[in-house]
Amino acid sequence: MVTPRAGRWTKPRQGWYKCNFDASFTSTTTQCKMGWVIRGAYGEYRGAGHAKGNTVSSPLEAEYNALIVAMQQCWIKGYTKVIFEGDNKKMIDNLHSRKLQFGLYNWVREARWWSRKFQEVEFNWINREGNGVADKLAKIDFELI
């Protein structure tokens, strides 16, 4: 796992794309919100979006929902080598672990299923400051749009 310098987003390696993602969770009665941004090896913009996700029971589930939607968007664009970077360390650690938490089993299983659709995938953690664009996209108020 690559740990970026504090607060700084870094470009992906040549031939790779980087997709930063984040989620916003407010309660168990409303849909989570998510955002993602995709950049190429030179740091150039390759796509972004935001959406409302499922109604979930925790911020961690909201992050998984955001990751899966971001993976789907990269797959739709035909990107085959992607670094998915999020700011929830517990989630990234969980994806790297062979042990599964029962409450997250279906989320992890779906993320791993989507990861097999790519030639290569990495799941990396970045601190919140380095994930600012995805964070802002995840917090967009849909009623204003």
In the chain the domains, ranked by start, together with CATH numbers, are 17-144 (3.30.420.10)
Q: What is the separation of C-alpha 15 from the centre of its chain, rounded to a whole number of angstroms?
A: 19
User: Residue 109 belongs to what H/E stretch?
Assistant: helix 105-115
CB atoms within 10 A of CB 25: 22
Give the residues of the chain that fall short of pLDDT 70: 1-7, 100, 142-145
What's this model's pTM, rounded to 2 decimal places?
Answer: 0.89
60-83 per-position pLDDT tens digit: 999 999 999 999 999 999 999 999
User: Residue 20 belongs to what H/E stretch?
Assistant: strand 17-24
Angle at 29 between CA 65 and CA 74, to 5 degrees: 15
Task: Give the separation between CA 131 and CA 135, rounded to whole angstroms.
Answer: 6
